[in-house]
Amino acid sequence: MKPTPILPGSAIGVLGSGQLGRMLAMVAKRMGYKIYTYSPDENTPAGQICDQEFTAAYEDTNALQGFARQVDVITFEFENIPTTPLKAIQGRVPIYPNPEILYIAQNRLREKTFLAGKGFPVVPFYPVSSRSDLTQGLAQCDYPLVLKTAGFGYDGKGQAKVGSAQEAEIAFEALDGKPVILERFIDFQLEFSVIAARNPQGEIVHYAPIENIHQHHILDISLAPGRIPLEIAQQASKIAQELMETLNMVGVLCIEFFLTTDGRLLINELAPRPHNSGHLTIEAAITSQFEQQLRAICGLPLGACNFRQPAAMANLLGDLWEHGEPAWEKLLAFPEVKLHLYGKAQARAGRKMGHLTTLSDDVETAFKTIQEARSALKAPATCKS
């Protein structure tokens, strides 16, 4: 039986209430949908845009059931949501992606075990849940290594590079004895992501690979199309399609890749949702990643993924507010740069407060422009008379 499309006028439910939900809400409102968000927080980036903001704990099954009765489909805007309570609403309303995919992606060990078991290329890893596991793992691996917490890590949190057994033991203790993964440190020439979408009918589309540049383990700048060899881009796109089918994914999936210095392609992480690197699709692509998410979960035909022009995106972190309000008027003197702010009241170091996007005739010019524009934010602001 063909899935019944969920058409404009219907209500979209979003678990999570950050900037990804906010940008999805903007698309949903433009396309005539109602959109509700659910999270433990109030006055959130997504809640400021949505038709209604439900505030309750993710573990509150009664509140979840009440939320599910208000919507026609439920999706996620980040993956660190407990999946066990979702059993209370499965079958009452479509949930995309399947919470089982969320469960896999929440834990590095589950994720890498799944990928390796299905034959996808991953960084060599060793599971560690005790000091004896650590000793055995160190005996089987060559330094340098990376220790990563198995669960709920992002933006470099919960990981440490180690170059000796002593450093590994110190790092393991610092991670409070949590289950971790011991990984070989990969010498890579670049990182990039492939963002794909799939609807319940099995239609799959994907964007050309997006190159990612990190600072302190946090995404700093993304470039599209990425400066990636054609054969590598084709290989990554094939892996993305195979992975979407293997997972029976419905929604948007980001696959983060390493290209090693010896030319190997390895999957680093999965994100079963729109991704920071895909924010530039709002201006750069015919269909943004957020519209693809909406189309996919509603069982609609997917949009074109072509880039209109080369593009660059730069994150705006809370560090920019360290000495006061950024110089917005100096930024906006760059007529080709678009500003996105997420409505977060408090700026903190490392917190993603917004992003910038620019288009150009070539990716190198876009890269240069976005760096200059962001640097202008640090200039002294013009005083108000």
pLDDT value at position 152? 57
Q: How many residues would you count in the chain?
A: 385
Architecture of domain 188-376: 2-Layer Sandwich (3.30)
Per residue in 81-112, pLDDT (tens digit) is 999 999 999 999 999 999 999 999 999 999 99
Indicate whether 155 pLDDT > 70: no
The two structure tokens encoding residue 366: 């876009």
pLDDT value at position 162? 85
Alpha carbon of 221 to those of 321, 352, 373: distances in Å?
Answer: 19, 13, 12
Q: Which candidate, 208, 206, 187, 185, places its Cα nearest to that of 259?
A: 187
Architecture of domain 124-184: 2-Layer Sandwich (3.30)
Indicate whether 174 pLDDT > 50: yes
* Three-state SS annotation for the chain: CCCCCCCCCCEEEEECCCHHHHHHHHHHHHCCCEEEEEECCCCCCCCCCCCEEEECCCCCHHHHHHHHHCCCEEEECCCCCCCHHHHHCECCECECCCHHHHHHHCEHHHHHHHHHHCCCCECCEEEECCHHHHHHHHHHCCCCEEEEECECCCCCCCEEEECCHHHHHHHHHHCCCCCEEEEECCCEEEEEEEEEEECCCCCEEECCCEEEEEECCEEEEEEECCCCCHHHHHHHHHHHHHHHHHHCCCEEEEEEEEEECCCCEEEEEEECCCCHHHCCHHHHECCCHHHHHHHHHCCCCCCCCCECCCEEEEEEEHHHHCCCCCCHHHHCCCCCEEEEECCCCCCCCCCEEEEEEEECCCHHHHHHHHHHHHHHCCCCCCCCC
Alpha carbon of 43 to those of 37, 55, 325, 369: distances in Å?
Answer: 11, 10, 21, 33
| Mean pLDDT, range 103-131, rounded to an integer | 92
Q: Which of 251-255, 355-359, 376-380 has the lowest mean pLDDT?
A: 376-380
The two structure tokens encoding residue 283: 């201006």
Sheet holding 34-39, edge to edge: 52-55, 34-39, 11-15, 73-76
The model's confidence at residue 183, banded by pLDDT at 50, 70 and 90, is: confident
Instruction: State how beta strands 73-76 and 11-15 pair.
Output: parallel
Indicate whether 206 pLDDT > 80: yes
pTM of the model: 0.93
| Mean pLDDT, range 41-56, rounded to an integer | 97
Can you tell me the distance from the alpha carbon of 300 to that of 201, in angstroms, rounded to the nearest whole number?
9
Instruction: State how beta strands 11-15 and 34-39 pair.
Output: parallel
Indicate whether 130 pLDDT > 70: yes
170 contact partners, CB below 8 Å, separation of at least 6: none
**Most confident segment among 123-127, 179-183, 199-203:** 199-203
pLDDT value at position 318? 97
Mean pLDDT for the chain overall: 93
pLDDT value at position 138? 86
Q: How many CA atoms lie within 13 A of 339 on its CB side?
A: 17
Q: Is the peptide bond before 97 cis (omega within 30 degrees of 0)?
A: yes
Q: Is 219 exposed, middle or buried (0-12, 13-18, 19+ CB in 10 A)?
A: buried
Question: What dihedral do alpha carbons 218, 221, 222, 227 form, nearest 10°?
Answer: -110
Q: Which of 128-137, 155-164, 285-294 has the lowest mean pLDDT?
A: 155-164
Domain ranges of the chain: 11-95, 124-184, 188-376
Residue with tokens 């509603």: 298
Indicate whether 11 pLDDT > 80: yes
pLDDT value at position 185? 85
Question: 11-95: which CATH topology?
Answer: Rossmann fold (3.40.50)
The model's confidence at residue 385, banded by pLDDT at 50, 70 and 90, is: very low
Per residue in 312-348, pLDDT (tens digit) is 999 999 999 998 999 999 999 999 999 999 999 999 9
Q: Give percent of the chain with pLDDT exceeding 70.
A: 96
Per residue in 218-246, pLDDT (tens digit) is 999 999 999 999 999 999 999 999 999 99
